[in-house]
A = this chain, B = another copy of it.
Amino acid sequence: MSGSKSTSMTIGSLAKAAEINVETIRYYQRLGLMTEPKKPLGGIRRYDDVALARLRFIRRARWLGFSLEEIGELLKLEDGTHCDEAKALGERKLGNVRDKIRSLQQIEGVLDQLVEECCTQKDSVTCPLIASLHEGFETVAQ
């Protein structure tokens, strides 16, 4: 019914706001990542800011290397799955996210060092981006 749903957008303005192609939104709907709001009998669909937030989340998660399938699982958490399921899933995802953070922090450390030292040391071409990653993956934390 009517509502004071903040913003009512067409798919076009939604797409623009989320910086995502209209066709892509429809693609996500087909995959079940986004729901289609019901269409008022020979009219056009309207979207609210929840849809917008969801789209932005998908975009960011993609950028972070999650597949659409994984994103679907993350979104299921939001959508309220059964509690124990959700908890288990959440814990798995949390581990996953933390692994990614750890990996990125390793790269961050090396890049940082590289940028610092790059022009100060004349000798070695040792910018050990790889070396540091190659050891100490499973072993190291933080």
Contact = CB atoms under 8 A, between A and B. Distances in A.
Interface of A: 49-50, 52-54, 56-57, 60-66, 74-75, 77-80, 83-84, 86-87, 90-91, 93-94, 97-98, 100-101, 103-105, 107-108, 111-112, 114-115, 118-119, 125, 127-131, 133-134, 137, 140
Q: Which 8 A-B pairs have the closest CB atoms?
A: A65-B65, A53-B134, A80-B125, A90-B115, A78-B129, A94-B111, A53-B130, A83-B119
Contacts of A108: 94, 97-98, 101
Number of copies: 2
24 contacts: A54-B130, A56-B130, A56-B137, A57-B129, A57-B133, A60-B103, A60-B140, A62-B65, A63-B103, A64-B100, A65-B66, A75-B129, A78-B129, A80-B125, A80-B127, A83-B118, A83-B119, A91-B115, A93-B111, A94-B111, A94-B112, A97-B108, A100-B100, A101-B108
